[in-house]
Chains A and B, each alone.
Chain A
Amino acid sequence: NAGVTQTPKFQVLKTGQSMTLQCAQDMNHNSMYWYRQDPGMGLRLIYYSASEGTTDKGEVPNGYNVSRLNKREFSLRLESAAPSQTSVYFCASSVGVGRTYEQYFGPGTRLTVT
């Protein structure tokens, strides 16, 4: 099993450009998440999907949209990229939304917005 996969691994955008980060998991997990990781800020939740067909905002949703395409796939879209969105983006999944459930992370996408 590949676990959680993300594409692309690296991306450079110009301010105002749009792009979609792709995430897929093959563990039959119900819940999926998008985080951003910034130096000194740790991991901050952007959006999550508790189950197929639902999405909810996390701590830092502004400037992003998500789509839970099916049970396996959860994409993150930047409609008009800004330099403040330069970050490393991690997708994660878990069996469900529950207090004891472990999260499984993808390898990350390093995004630079110039």
Chain B
Amino acid sequence: TAGITQAPTSQILAAGRSMTLRCTQDMRHNAMYWYRQDLGLGLRLIHYSNTAGTTGKGEVPDGYSVSRANTDDFPLTLASAVPSQTSVYFCASSDRAEDTQYFGPGTRLTVL
């Protein structure tokens, strides 16, 4: 089973450009999450979705947007990338908000 897939694996992006990080899960989980991971810091929640059609803001939502049109997909969009958005981005999902979260392989993004 694939579980959670993310694309691309890595990307170098010029500042000011837009980009969408893709996340797809095949576990029919209701809840999905986007985190960023930076050296020396814990994972920080960007946005989340408890069920298809709803989204919420996490700890660090500025500069990012998400949508949840269906159960399986949860894309993260950077409208105008800045160097401080250089990070490793992880998508995760759980059956419900109160359940264990399972992570995708991550996308390493460098903004120059």
A binds B: no
Residues of B whose CB lies within 8 Å of any CB of A are none
